[in-house]
Structure 1
Amino acid sequence: MKRTLLSLAATLCVIVSAKAQTSYGLKAGLNFAKVKTTKSNTSFTTDAATTFYVTGYADLPVSNNLSVQPGISLQGKGGAISEAYTDEKTKDNLMYIEVPVNFVYSIPTGNTGNIFLGVGPYAGFGIHTKTTQGNFSESRSFSDAGLKSFAAGLNFLTGFKFANGFLINGGYDLGLTNIWKDSGGASAKNRVFSVGVGFQF
């Protein structure tokens, strides 16, 4: 799956860039990250852990309203669990480097700008984990934390791009791969809502 996603990204970049003028953008904002675990017919979703993302991308027009946007992104994910008898939460922060390839459709709104809607796959590579509880914190590699370093899923995007290039955007990350190494028949997948701002040059 990893090779397929990366091959798709490379192929799209070559095909589209050969016949389109490329522009570039940068986005950053907050992630409200959760992990959904499932075993048999039972599922549990953690509380949200607030973290961040930074994404650089290229915008490759396919038509007047449709673009392909490959990019590279630093994404904070994870989740939080409230302790039963205290006010403290245990937070797991998972940091990934991701390669998204989004298909973005723009809807003109006159001279003010464009509403945009997008969807596309991503491949992610875990680089760092950090668990915090009160004054305690522990940083580990994905392997030491019992997690797979590779993850993949789908991005869903929406927002508004002003005529001057300024962006207001939101999104949802639907993780499709189990992030646990030894799951014992259970699965854990990332779920992330995001909001942010950016600029497309």
Structure 2
Amino acid sequence: MAIGISVASMAQVRVGVKGGWNIANVTTSNSGGLDDSRALNSFHIGAVADVPLSPVLSLQPGVFYTGKGSKLERGEPGDAAYFKTTTNPQYIEIPVNFVGKIPVGQDTRVFLGVGPYAAFGVAGKNKYDANLAGVHTSGESNIKWDDDTPFNDGDPNQGYDKYKRFDYGGNFLAGVEFGNFLVSAQYGLGMGKIFSGTDNSSNDKSKNRVWSFSVGYLFGGSK
């Protein structure tokens, strides 16, 4: 009986693809506030599974390649005095969301979800572009990652010119399923500071915040 129930449950699991647009930012104040002008456009793409736990609740784990970061800009392009820097760290992110679904029509469901995520930094660039007294300069460099992981106590490679490789936080999402298609919006609330050497827990500066707008497709029979 247990094997039969397990097989029946697994037969309803759907696996699919999901991707879209990120609006990323990094907190700038002790209270966790943001400067909206520093938001940076990026993207995410990956795979997601939908595991039914009940007729109205699913577990949705996934794995994504996602870009985060922020920008700082002063002046306008072409001005005699203009400066812009962007930082765009990119992560492999694993969310595990619990999603409640409300039927609103034939094969259509509105859903709300919440869950944690863990992320591992793998790439990214810092870029700058500036005009000063008629002289234009620009350049880029690869982001440097420290050896920070959840499994070590010390980090001999930390430094203020490096990013912490491990990030974690929570997700809040909402959207609509149309059969096997889905459209969703998600807010990622980072809880770990992104810069190496900044472990002071008395403020919320330098933590990732990301709005993600996604479209996806789940293969298999609709639920």
TM-score (norm 2): 0.74
**1:55 paired residue among 46, 56, 59:** 46
Q: Is the 8 A contact 2:167 2:194 kept in 1?
A: yes
Distance 2:7 2:166 in 1: 30
**2:181 paired residue among 162, 166, 172:** 166
Corresponding residue number in structure 2 for 1:136: 139
Match runs of 1:36-55 below 5 Å: 36-39=27-30, 45=35, 47-55=38-46
Cα deviation, 1:150-177, whole Å, max 9, x if unaligned, reads: 01000111111102x1111111000011
**2:211 paired residue among 188, 193, 197:** 193
**1:70 paired residue among 36, 54, 61:** 61
**CA pair 94-112 structure 1, distance change in 2 beyond 3 A:** same
Which consecutive residues of structure 2, in runs of 5 or more, have no partner in the other structure? 1-5, 130-137, 147-158
TM-score (norm 1): 0.82
Corresponding residue number in structure 2 for 1:155: 171
Match runs of 1:85-124 below 5 Å: 86-124=81-119
Corresponding residue number in structure 2 for 1:180: 195
Distance 2:145 2:35 in 1: 20
Larger radius of gyration: 2
Once the two structures are TM-superposed, the CA of residue 87 in structure 1 deviates from its matched residue by 4.9
Once the two structures are TM-superposed, the CA of residue 184 in structure 1 deviates from its matched residue by 7.5
Distance 1:199 1:45 in 2: 34
- What amino acid sits opposite 1:118 in the alignment? G
**CA pair 121-91 structure 1, distance change in 2 beyond 3 A:** same
Could you say what secondary structure the match of 2:19 adopts? Answer: strand
Distance 2:34 2:46 in 1: 29
Could you say what secondary structure the match of 1:147 adopts? Answer: coil
- What amino acid sits opposite 1:20 in the alignment? S
Cα deviation, 1:55-100, whole Å, max 9, x if unaligned, reads: 2111111000100011111110000111257454211101000111
Distance 1:28 1:113 in 2: 20
- Residue 26 of structure 2 is aligned to residue 35 of structure 1: yes
- What amino acid sits opposite 1:91 in the alignment? T
Percentage identity across paired residues of the two chains: 38
Q: How many residues align?
A: 184
Distance 1:159 1:42 in 2: 26
Which consecutive residues of structure 1, in runs of 5 or more, have no partner in the other structure? 1-16
Corresponding residue number in structure 2 for 1:10: none
Misfit runs of 4+, over 4 Å: 41-44, 84-88
CA-atom RMSD in angstroms: 2.4
